[in-house]
């Protein structure tokens, strides 16, 4: 399980301790080594269990808690102390800092703030390159126009990735109005993106997985809302949090985007590690690819992660040649997927993915190879010690102004 941070927690308040525990239990990067309800016993607990992190809730008795923080700082210098308080009073933060706390979190603890703080501690503890091995890869699948095959690719890519036992994969249908990923997987989900978005702070790992629908391929699906009017209930901020939580839970996330490039799609594009821009070889599509590449290219960090995928190659004689297409869009075509209407309609109508319905078909092989190429890209990236790409810090530093976690050392 890579670099897990071992954590001991002290909070004399039963309710707040339980709530912190629930949040922590949802994160597979944290192992809850010990919990304690008395400040005075906690130094001994830390001495016996040697956790990487000591989490001290301040509010029950701030003076006593801060004394404990200084004591821990001396008796267990290898244990990074993280403090939690409902107050964001500057004076309290200063006192915590002077006592030796490494991070100050405001309660109720937002999952992304906790991940942010843990990411920084993991970076300090294991080095940035190392902590990345616990990361997750987000693949956003976007299209040049409606009907190019975005959902077909997202669903079948997700299933191909899920075949590998080492992967845990979730697919999020972000086509909030007309999304049909559930049809492709023949599933009738109990919960949708709107339920998860509205309860994101209360969800732990187990509950989150229970809110998603598991397909027989191993792929977890988070579908679009049932009612169109519920679309409005999901804000970009909510989606950022949902993706953050999923990212901490799954090794791969596949996001099936809408064709409207809405603020929610923009969040997905920003948070993605890889963006597959699906097109076909006709003029309207290629023109949109050029326009999209221009707009996306203006967003910092985007140009490198957008990859053009040509779908339905060989569809008809009148298709623009790959060479001409490449010249028109001015960049490499990352992947080609053959046209196979019969198989694709069959998989959609039967609600069975390619890897199950037509494992030998050329289209299936092309998608399986695409999934392997994307995983290969992860591995190559892991090998690079590019400190800016630590998945946790990269994810959370996208919106630095929104983080409530205050690094104080
Ligand atoms: N490689 C392919 N060959 C033939 N038909 C395809 C291929 N990919 C997708 N299709 C078909 O194209 C249609 C639209 O695909 P879909 O994935 O729903 O597109 P989008 O999500 O971009 O709107 C579907 O009927 C699907 O079966
Ligand atoms: Mg679609």
For 224-255, what is each residue's pLDDT tens digit?
999 999 999 999 988 988 888 888 778 899 99
Confidence category of residue 356, pLDDT binned at 50, 70, 90: very high
pLDDT (0 to 100) of residue 398 = 30
Answer yes or no: is pLDDT of 396 > 70.
no
Please state, rounded to an integer, the average pLDDT across all residues of the chain: 86
Cα gap 338→328, rounded to integer Å:
20
Evaluate: CB of 330 within 6 angstroms of ligand 1: no
CA 345 to ligand 1: nearest atom: 27
Higher pLDDT, 376 or 346: 346
Which is nearest to 80 in space by CA: 98, 59, 55?
55
Longest dimension (CA), the chain: 79
pLDDT (0 to 100) of residue 395 = 30
Contact 258, 202 (CB under 8 A): no
Cα gap 143→155, rounded to integer Å:
14
Element (H, E) at 362: helix 362-383
Confidence category of residue 405, pLDDT binned at 50, 70, 90: very low
pTM here is 0.72
Place of tokens 């998608």: 367
Q: What is the pLDDT of residues 149-204, one digit of tens each?
A: 999 999 999 999 999 988 999 999 999 999 999 999 999 999 999 999 988 766 66
Evaluate: CB of 337 within 6 angstroms of ligand 1: yes
CA of 86 to the centre of ligand 2 (A): 43
Can you state the angle between helices 341-350 and 362-383, rounded to 10 degrees? 80
Q: Which residues contact 74 (CB under 8 A, 6 or more apart)?
A: none
Average pLDDT, integer, range 342-357: 96
CA 146 to ligand 1: nearest atom: 23
Q: What is the pLDDT of residues 87-145, one digit of tens each?
A: 989 999 999 999 999 999 999 888 778 888 888 888 777 665 444 444 689 999 999 99
CA 155 to ligand 1: nearest atom: 17
Higher pLDDT, 162 or 377: 162
User: Tokens representing 371?
Assistant: 């999934």
Higher pLDDT, 244 or 57: 57
Confidence category of residue 296, pLDDT binned at 50, 70, 90: very high
Closest Cα to atom 10 of ligand 1: 149
Answer yes or no: is pLDDT of 11 > 90.
yes
Cα gap 391→109, rounded to integer Å:
21
Average pLDDT, integer, range 312-317: 89
CA 311 to ligand 1: nearest atom: 1
Confidence category of residue 31, pLDDT binned at 50, 70, 90: confident
Evaluate: CB of 152 within 6 angstroms of ligand 1: yes
Answer yes or no: is pLDDT of 35 > 70.
yes
pLDDT (0 to 100) of residue 69 = 97
DSSP string, 109-143: PPHHHHHHHHHHHHHHHH-HHHHGGG--EEEEEEE
Ligand nearest to the CA of 145: 1
Answer yes or no: is pLDDT of 392 > 50.
no
> Which residues are 276's β-sheet partners?
141, 307
Report for 182-186, 205-209, 313-317: range of highest mean pLDDT: 182-186
Residues measured by CB to lie within 5 Å of ligand 2, the ion? 150-151
pLDDT (0 to 100) of residue 128 = 54
Confidence category of residue 342, pLDDT binned at 50, 70, 90: very high
Place of tokens 């064709």: 259
Report the percentage of the chain scoring pLDDT > 70: 86
Q: Reduced to 3 states, what is the DSSP secondary structure of residue 311?
A: strand
pLDDT (0 to 100) of residue 102 = 94
Contact 394, 388 (CB under 8 A): yes
């Amino acid at each position: 399980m890579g670099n897990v941070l071992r954590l001991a927690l002290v909070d004399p308040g039963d309710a707040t301790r339980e709530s912190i525990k629930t949040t922590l239990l949802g994160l597979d990067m944290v192992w809850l080594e010990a919990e304690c309800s008395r400040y005075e016993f906690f130094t001994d607990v830390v001495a016996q269990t040697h956790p990487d992190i000591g989490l001290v809730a301040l509010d029950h008795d701030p003076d006593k808690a801060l004394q404990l923080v200084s004591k821990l700082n001396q008796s267990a210098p290898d244990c990074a102390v993280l403090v939690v308080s409902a107050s964001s009073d500057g004076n309290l933060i200063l006192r915590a800092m002077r006592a030796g706390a490494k991070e100050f979190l405001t309660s109720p603890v937002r999952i992304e703030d906790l991940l942010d703080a843990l990411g920084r501690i993991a970076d300090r503890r294991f080095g940035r390159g190392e902590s990345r091995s616990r990361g997750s890869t987000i693949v956003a699948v976007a299209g040049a126009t409606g009907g190019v095959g975005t959902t077909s690719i997202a669903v079948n890519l997700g299933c191909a990735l899920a075949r590998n036992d080492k992967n845990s994969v979730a697919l999020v249908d972000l086509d909030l109005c007309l999304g049909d990923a559930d049809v492709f997987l023949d599933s009738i989900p109990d919960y949708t993106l709107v339920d998860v978005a509205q309860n994101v702070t209360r969800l732990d790992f187990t509950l989150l997985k229970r809110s998603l629908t598991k397909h027989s391929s191993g792929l977890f699906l988070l579908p679009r809302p049932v009612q169109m009017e519920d679309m409005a209930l999901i804000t970009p901020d909510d989606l950022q949090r949902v993706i953050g939580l999923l990212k901490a839970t799954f090794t791969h996330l596949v996001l099936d985007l809408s064709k409207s490039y809405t603020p929610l799609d923009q969040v997905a594009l920003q948070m993605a590690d890889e963006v597959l821009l699906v097109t076909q070889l006709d003029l309207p599509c290629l023109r949109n690819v050029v326009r999209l590449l221009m707009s996306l290219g203006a967003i910092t960090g985007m140009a490198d992660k957008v990859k053009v995928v040509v779908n339905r190659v060989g569809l008809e004689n009148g298709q623009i040649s790959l060479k001409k297409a490449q010249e028109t869009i001015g960049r490499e075509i990352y992947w080609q997927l053959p046209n196979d209407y019969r198989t694709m309609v069959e998989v959609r109508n039967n609600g069975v993915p390619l890897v199950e319905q037509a494992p030998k078909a050329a289209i299936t092989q092309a998608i399986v190879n695409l999934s392997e190429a994307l995983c290969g890209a992860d591995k190559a990236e892991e090998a690079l010690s590019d400190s800016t790409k630590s998945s946790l810090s990269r994810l959370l530093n996208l919106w630095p102004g929104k983080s409530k976690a205050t690094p104080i050392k």
